A and B are shown apart, each in its own frame.
Chain A
Amino acid sequence: QKEVEQNSGPLSVPEGAIASLNCTYSDRGSQSFFWYRQYSGKSPELIMSIYSNGDKEDGRFTAQLNKASQYVSLLIRDSQPSDSATYLCAVKTSYDKVIFGPGTSLSVIP
Chain B
Amino acid sequence: GAGVSQSPSNKVTEKGKDVELRCDPISGHTALYWYRQSLGQGLEFLIYFQGNSAPDKSGLPSDRFSAERTGGSVSTLTIQRTQQEDSAVYLCASSFPYNEQFFGPGTRLTVL
Contact = CB atoms under 8 A, between A and B. Distances in A.
Interface of A: 32, 34, 42-46, 49, 88, 90, 92, 96-103
Interface stretch (B64-72, B77-85, B95-103): B95-103
Interface string B37-81: 000001101001000000010000000000000000000000000
A92 B98 contact: yes
17 contacts: A32-B99, A34-B100, A34-B101, A43-B91, A43-B105, A44-B43, A44-B103, A46-B101, A46-B102, A88-B42, A88-B43, A92-B98, A97-B48, A99-B45, A100-B35, A100-B42, A100-B43
Nearest to B55: A96
Given A32-B98, A90-B101, A100-B35, 19 more contacts: A32-B99, A34-B101, A42-B105, A43-B103, A43-B104, A43-B106, A44-B103, A46-B101, A46-B102, A49-B100, A88-B42, A92-B98, A96-B98, A98-B33, A99-B45, A100-B42, A100-B43, A100-B45, A101-B42
Interface residues of B, number: 17
B103 A45 contact: yes
